[in-house]
Amino acid sequence: MKRCLSERTMWLVHEGAAPERDLAHLEGCLDCAARYGRLNEELGEITRALRDHASPIGRDVRRGRRRWVTAAAVLAGIGLLAGGEAVLWRQSNALVDPRPETTAEALSLLEEVTLLLSSPGVTAASVLVADPATVIAEMTSPESYEDDPIAAGGGGGGGRL
């Protein structure tokens, strides 16, 4: 009986480059057939492992997607922080910068209202129903102080507050 096939001849069979007599031996020898089956199986395992390991599709793509999601989340977070900061900054600026012309107007109005309310004989109701110009004129005229005991009496301890 012919000797069993060498490892190289076995591989040549796998490559389709072995002579006829080796193929004939392989068909008749159970031991060589088993070895040939193992060669096929192992080559398949190696090839699959290398293909999967080196393939850019799959794990790397998933990893890439995960990176994108993380980057997007970080960017969104930074955007939110920046937006919130801008809103806070605007509000604080509004407090620091009271807009002078508006304040002047408001102060003069407040002054007038205070004057009006503190003047004797003028009630809130009368202010509300009366013409503001008339009320102010009344307030500022010297006669308006006549009924005021403090102002009219001219007592030493008093005066208009």
Partner 1 sequence: MNGQAAPRWQAHCDALYRQHAARLVRLGRLVLGDKQEAEEVAQEVFLKLIRTYEGPVVPIDWAAWLTRVTINACRDRRRAGWWAWSRRHRAPEMLELVDGGASPEQAAAGAEFGVRIAAAFQRLSARQREVFALRYIEGMSTHEVAGTLDLSEGSVKRHLFRAVKYLRGALGEIKGDRGHR
Residues near partner 1 (CB under 8 A) are: 7-8, 11-12, 15, 17, 39, 42-43, 45-47, 49-57, 59-60, 62-63
42 or 85, CB closer to partner 1? 42
Close Cβ partners of 21 (under 8 Å, ≥ 6 residues apart): 2
Close Cβ partners of 145 (under 8 Å, ≥ 6 residues apart): 120, 151, 152
| Dihedral-angle region of residue 147 (phi above 0 means left; psi in -120 to 50 means alpha; beta otherwise) | alpha
C-alpha distances (whole Å) from 22 to each of 38, 86, 160 are 17, 83, 130
- Nearest approach in angstroms of CB 64 to partner 1 is 10
Is the Cα dihedral 112, 114, 116, 120 positive or negative?
A: negative
How is residue 141 annotated by DSSP?
A: S
Other Cβ atoms closer than 10 A to 136: 16
- Nearest approach in angstroms of CB 33 to partner 1 is 18
6 or 141, CB closer to partner 1? 6
- Nearest approach in angstroms of CB 8 to partner 1 is 6
- Nearest approach in angstroms of CB 34 to partner 1 is 15
10 or 139, CB closer to partner 1? 10
33 or 150, CB closer to partner 1? 33
